[in-house]
Amino acid sequence: MSKETLDIQSTSGRGYWRSLDDLAQSSEFQARLDREFPREAAELRDPVTRRSFLKLMGASMALSTLAGCQFAIKQPQEVIVPYVRQPEEVIPGRSLFYATSMTVQGYGIGLLAESHEGRPTKVEGNPDHGASLGSSDAWIQASILTMYDPDRSQQVLKAGVASTWADASAALAAAAAGAGAGIRIISEPNASPTLNAAIGALTSKYPGAKWVQYDPISADNASAGAAIAIGAATNVVYSFNKADVVVALDSDFTHSGPTAIRYSRDFAEKRRITTAKPTMSRLYVAEPTPSHTGTMADHRLAVRSADVATLTDAIAAAVGVAGITAPTLDGKTAAWVKSAVADLKANAGKSIVITGETQSAAQHALVLAINNALGNFSKTITFTAPISTASTSATGLKELVAEINAGAVKLLLLSDANILYNTPGDIGVKAALAKVSTVVHHGLYADETSVGAAWHINGAHYLESWGDSRAFDGTAAIQQPLIAPLYDGKTLLEVVAALSGDSTSTGHDLLKAYWKSVAGTQGYAFDKEWQISLHDGTVKNTAAAAVTVAMSGTVNATATPASEGLEIVFRADSSLRDGSAANNGWLQEVPKPITKLVWDNAAQVSPATAKTIGVISGDVVELSYQGRSVKAPVWIVPGQADNTVVVHLGFGRTKAGKVGDGVGFNAYTLRGSDNLWHGNGLVVKKTTETYKLATTQEHTNLEGRDEDIYRTKTLADFLHPEHHEGHKKHEIISLFPEFDYSKGYQWGMQIDLNACNGCNACVVACQAENNIPIVGKEQVLVGREMHWIRIDTYFSGDPESPSIYQIPVACMHCEHAPCEIVCPVAATVHDDEGLNSMVYNRCVGTKYCSNNCPYKVRRFNFFQYVDEETPSLKLQRNPDVTVRVRGVMEKCTYCVQRINEARIDADRENRQITDGQVVSACQQACPSQAIVFGNINDASSRVSQLKALEAKFTMLDPLNNKPRTSYMTRLTNPNPEFSGKTE
């Protein structure tokens, strides 16, 4: 590599995945960069520069002489070369699925990764894995993009200068030998058996060496609480599919943490109404700001984070937990508690009270005591031996800093632990790091923390490397790579082995050696077991055994004295979570729930609090907390508790990469290590600045159109329709003969509004499946986001405690599609299976179809949004879906490529496509199984049966467009005895 190249790479801290000529910064290269996202967007929003002015003047001259054709976008020429030697099982054009697993906050989630000719293009949940059951979430769906991120660290750096793994591993082994007991490893939590064994080996070789696991959004309070209540570290597993009443005390159990996918599914199971099962569970939620779970509540109460403890005490006292006295509550809260307690008592043994990671360990213990008092143990709540006993909160980090300051640490290995970014402002990590003689950084990105490290070792993505994981229930899963490391990155396992002096063993060697050591079988027998584990994605008989426990610890009331003033509440961002994937454009651009903000976080306040402070959305305020301050734009959130300011973590990165740098503000700097999640004494100072926040939905009032857009009913009304006037039935008449849709496959979709919590899994899954580009904040600001499926959010009722409605909206595939008749070139047409097809090649781009679409689900490529230049991003694309160019309309296709794949399979086997064989990407990802797709001509298909339900409705029914997508009326199950007023 030439020196010039290295200079460029080291100055930018990352390499462009380009040829050397490109790196010479030729004007051609620059011109190409200009057309790319997001650089292109930056160029376009610039005022006219002299250079672009001259260029365009030249072009306008050319235009005036009618030579403008050269400005047309040319289709790229491509050469297709067949395999000379066909690899086993690889059939060009057919995807293969491999089981693997991903670690989320320390716990494994089993996945199936789709591979096209050797490159992974998409991940799905593994139906055989308990944490997934075939579903996934936005975070998992977006992880594929992180692997192909051109901003990933691509080489080993020694003090910022390119080096090699051989040099690094030799240096590591030497440094480890020198440091001995002074070795410290900080990493994300990881319950991987092999890694734990490897670190165990290291600490036995160098006694005194320590592994600190730190997760800035850890659920440590939950495990600590269990330890208090049970008397020993215990893993708590909830069975929401057995609970008739759920009380969530500041817990977003359907969205937060590694169990969310499973819990979401279990919970939805209890909420789904069928003819056979006309019952549903009842959900009480008390929380400071609307969460995914909160939007589904039957009785939602907005309370300050600190007051959740008071509420918990009240419930504990009412259900008879010993030693707790009932606090006094205000009327609204008392009514909520009274109703919740009545329901809990009536459903003893069939209920769950759960609190979130944001509440203290003592409160977790108290909540377990409540469940115990209700007799929920071993029924809706089960226990197993702990999966991991390590503390993952900031405590470990604090102790480490003390050790460093005491001079006890010689070698510090930081693995994907961005502690200079994500630690609470009061720990003082930066000063401590400077005191360690050798800091080694290992990770996917050369990030904020890698600056100044003696070594940086580029990490390997989970889809590139061997490893293993343990799920929340203990099930072990093998993490199988789908592709060789793109940049020869290493896993933590390999780095730890190198520290121990083994620099030659690959991750595969280490992994297999570990599993051989625990298997107790050898040779063929082991190989067979190994192959089965690889194939299934789970290792048999590894689920943690259930244990029976009894309350042994003492629990205390947790209420703190009522405090005045403003409370600050920290939350992991719904999509970015802790911010480690901030360079992932899909996660940045997926609209956050409730606020629908993209590319930013905000200081969220309730309407009343905004009034008190004297701000409106978009005003910039200075937040000061415990002597630290940060500037943040305000966003008003209906349904949030008053006197509470909610800030989301995961933003304000400075060295995330081209996408993630400078997005939002860094809320970690405000955080205090004593209470990671909330605290009193926030000072908000209004500034004169304003800031433009981009939201994908500006209007959240249904404007009295509920009947046509979002129908909701109480369960009682639904079961006894005779008490209430039914929805008006519209006589569908047409002047023209109807097309005969009674033959063949007729595709249709049904979305259950009872199950949807707006988690965005479908949005990102659709983006991954259908090669949907991101457009950047500036384009979202002018209303040009590209998502084919979106989650609309509406508020209804009192802005202080509104009902919150979320509804996924994608192309409805209307039988009388209004888009089709207005297209002058027949680029959007109907097929005989009821699909509203979009013929990209034929599209001229009049946008008339979008104007005539009442659902506004069509998306237009106003610019060349798709990056057709960056090689790594090209690899990610789904080869079954056309990549759209500038000037073309696009929209949901019902995943026509999946329909056709199933059709080809069925044709080859001379049979019909069976129900469940075609699964749309959104349906497949949905953790709560809210989306069902299939053949509506087949009366036995799931979708047909759902569509036969009385409570089904189609959106904007009076327009007579006959959409193929229908919705199940949102049903709520409020307590008829409830006297107060909540949602």
Closest CA to 142 of 446, 577, 474, 564: 577
Cβ burial of 741 (10 Å; 0-12, 13-18, 19+) is middle
Please give the residues from 176 up to 205 whose contact with other proteins meets the rule CB under 8 A. Answer: none
Cα separation, 835 vs 824, in Å, equals 19
Contact region with other proteins (CB under 8 A), list: 99-107, 571-579, 606-614, 818-826: 818-826
Cα separation, 696 vs 778, in Å, equals 12
Question: To the nearest whole angstrom, how small is the minimum distance from the Cβ of residue 954 to other proteins?
Answer: 13
Residue from 322, 346, 826, 948 binding other proteins (CB under 8 A): 826
Under a CB-based contact definition with an 8 Å cutoff, are residues 540 and 518 in contact? no
Task: Enter the DSSP assignment of 630.
Answer: E
Residue 732 binds other proteins, judged by CB under 8 A: no
Please give the residues from 753 up to 782 whose contact with other proteins meets the rule CB under 8 A. Answer: 779, 782
User: Nearer to other proteins by C-beta: 52 or 680?
Assistant: 52
Cα separation, 932 vs 939, in Å, equals 14
Question: To the nearest whole angstrom, how small is the minimum distance from the Cβ of residue 55 to other proteins?
Answer: 8
3 state SS of 286: strand
User: Nearer to other proteins by C-beta: 452 or 818?
Assistant: 818
User: Nearer to other proteins by C-beta: 627 or 704?
Assistant: 704
Residue from 1, 20, 24, 56 binding other proteins (CB under 8 A): 56
Question: To the nearest whole angstrom, how small is the minimum distance from the Cβ of residue 964 to other proteins?
Answer: 17
User: Nearer to other proteins by C-beta: 203 or 960?
Assistant: 960
Interaction pattern, residues 867-906, with other proteins; x per rule: CB under 8 A:
------------------xxxxx-----------------
Cβ burial of 61 (10 Å; 0-12, 13-18, 19+) is exposed
Residue 681 binds other proteins, judged by CB under 8 A: no
Closest CA to 209 of 21, 410, 504: 410
Residue 722 binds other proteins, judged by CB under 8 A: no
Cα Dmax for the chain: 90
User: Nearer to other proteins by C-beta: 724 or 856?
Assistant: 856
Interaction pattern, residues 497-536, with other proteins; x per rule: CB under 8 A:
----------------------------------------
Question: To the nearest whole angstrom, how small is the minimum distance from the Cβ of residue 891 to other proteins?
Answer: 10
Residue from 851, 900, 914, 979 binding other proteins (CB under 8 A): 851
Q: Phi and psi at residue 824, in whole multiples of 5°?
A: -75, -15
The string of DSSP letters for 99-122 reads EEEEEETTEEEEEEEEEETTEEEE
Q: Which two tokens stand for residue 325?
A: 């006295």
**For residue 71, how far is the Cα from the chain centroid?**
40
User: Nearer to other proteins by C-beta: 173 or 702?
Assistant: 702
Residue from 68, 93, 208, 614 binding other proteins (CB under 8 A): 68
Question: To the nearest whole angstrom, how small is the minimum distance from the Cβ of residue 817 to other proteins?
Answer: 11
Question: To the nearest whole angstrom, how small is the minimum distance from the Cβ of residue 956 to other proteins?
Answer: 6
Question: To the nearest whole angstrom, how small is the minimum distance from the Cβ of residue 38 to other proteins?
Answer: 13
Question: To the nearest whole angstrom, how small is the minimum distance from the Cβ of residue 692 to other proteins?
Answer: 12
Under a CB-based contact definition with an 8 Å cutoff, are residues 355 and 251 in contact? yes
Residue from 11, 64, 522, 541 binding other proteins (CB under 8 A): 64
Residue 730 binds other proteins, judged by CB under 8 A: no
User: Nearer to other proteins by C-beta: 490 or 596?
Assistant: 596
Contact region with other proteins (CB under 8 A), list: 62-70, 118-126, 574-582, 612-620: 62-70
Strand ranges (E), 84-203: 96-104, 107-116, 119-125, 156-158, 161-163, 183-187
Residue 37 binds other proteins, judged by CB under 8 A: no
**Which residues lie closer than 8 Å to 836 by C-beta, 6 or more apart?**
811, 813, 814, 817, 819, 820, 828, 829, 830
Residue from 323, 614, 721, 783 binding other proteins (CB under 8 A): 783
3 state SS of 808: strand
Residue from 565, 704, 737, 976 binding other proteins (CB under 8 A): 704
Question: To the nearest whole angstrom, how small is the minimum distance from the Cβ of residue 69 to other proteins?
Answer: 7
Cα separation, 672 vs 670, in Å, equals 7
Cα separation, 498 vs 411, in Å, equals 13
Cα separation, 385 vs 367, in Å, equals 19
Q: Phi and psi at residue 43, in whole multiples of 5°?
A: -60, -40
Residue from 530, 863, 894, 933 binding other proteins (CB under 8 A): 863
User: Nearer to other proteins by C-beta: 17 or 848?
Assistant: 848
Residue 599 binds other proteins, judged by CB under 8 A: no
Residue 856 binds other proteins, judged by CB under 8 A: yes
Q: Rg of the chain over CA atoms, in angstroms?
A: 28
Cα separation, 588 vs 658, in Å, equals 12
Residue 33 binds other proteins, judged by CB under 8 A: no
Contact region with other proteins (CB under 8 A), list: 194-202, 524-532, 553-561, 815-823: 815-823
Under a CB-based contact definition with an 8 Å cutoff, are residues 271 and 755 in contact? yes
Q: How many CB atoms lie under 10 A from the CB of residue 430?
A: 13
Question: To the nearest whole angstrom, how small is the minimum distance from the Cβ of residue 896 to other proteins?
Answer: 20
Residue 751 binds other proteins, judged by CB under 8 A: no
Question: To the nearest whole angstrom, how small is the minimum distance from the Cβ of residue 775 to other proteins?
Answer: 9
Question: To the nearest whole angstrom, how small is the minimum distance from the Cβ of residue 22 to other proteins?
Answer: 22
CA distance readout (Å), 733 to 740, 817, 818: 15, 15, 16
Q: Which two tokens stand for residue 47?
A: 């005022």
Residue 797 binds other proteins, judged by CB under 8 A: no
User: Nearer to other proteins by C-beta: 277 or 705?
Assistant: 705
Question: To the nearest whole angstrom, how small is the minimum distance from the Cβ of residue 333 to other proteins?
Answer: 32
Residue from 520, 737, 824, 976 binding other proteins (CB under 8 A): 824
H or E element: which one contains 621? strand 619-625
Residue 46 binds other proteins, judged by CB under 8 A: no
- The length of the chain, given as a count of residues: 983
Residue 702 binds other proteins, judged by CB under 8 A: yes
User: Nearer to other proteins by C-beta: 58 or 200?
Assistant: 58
Please give the residues from 915 up to 944 whose contact with other proteins meets the rule CB under 8 A. Answer: none
Is the bond preceding 38 in cis, omega lying within 30 degrees of 0? Answer: yes
Cα separation, 626 vs 672, in Å, equals 8
User: Nearer to other proteins by C-beta: 513 or 782?
Assistant: 782
Residue from 162, 848, 903, 980 binding other proteins (CB under 8 A): 848
User: Nearer to other proteins by C-beta: 487 or 710?
Assistant: 710
Contact region with other proteins (CB under 8 A), list: 60-68, 133-141, 282-290, 354-362: 60-68
Question: To the nearest whole angstrom, how small is the minimum distance from the Cβ of residue 694 to other proteins?
Answer: 12
Angle between helices 361-373 and 308-319 (to 10 degrees): 30
Which residues in 606-621 are b (16+ Cβ under 10 Å) and which e?
Answer: bbebbeebebebebbb
**For residue 855, how far is the Cα from the chain centroid?**
26
Q: Phi and psi at residue 470, in whole multiples of 5°?
A: -125, 135
**For residue 571, how far is the Cα from the chain centroid?**
14
Question: To the nearest whole angstrom, how small is the minimum distance from the Cβ of residue 702 to other proteins?
Answer: 6
- Output helix, strand, coil percentages for the chain, rounded to the nearest 5: 30, 20, 50
Under a CB-based contact definition with an 8 Å cutoff, are residues 755 and 272 in contact? yes
Interaction pattern, residues 940-979, with other proteins; x per rule: CB under 8 A:
---------------xx--x--------------------
H or E element: which one contains 495? helix 492-499
- Interface with other proteins (CB under 8 A), residue total 72
Residue 910 binds other proteins, judged by CB under 8 A: no
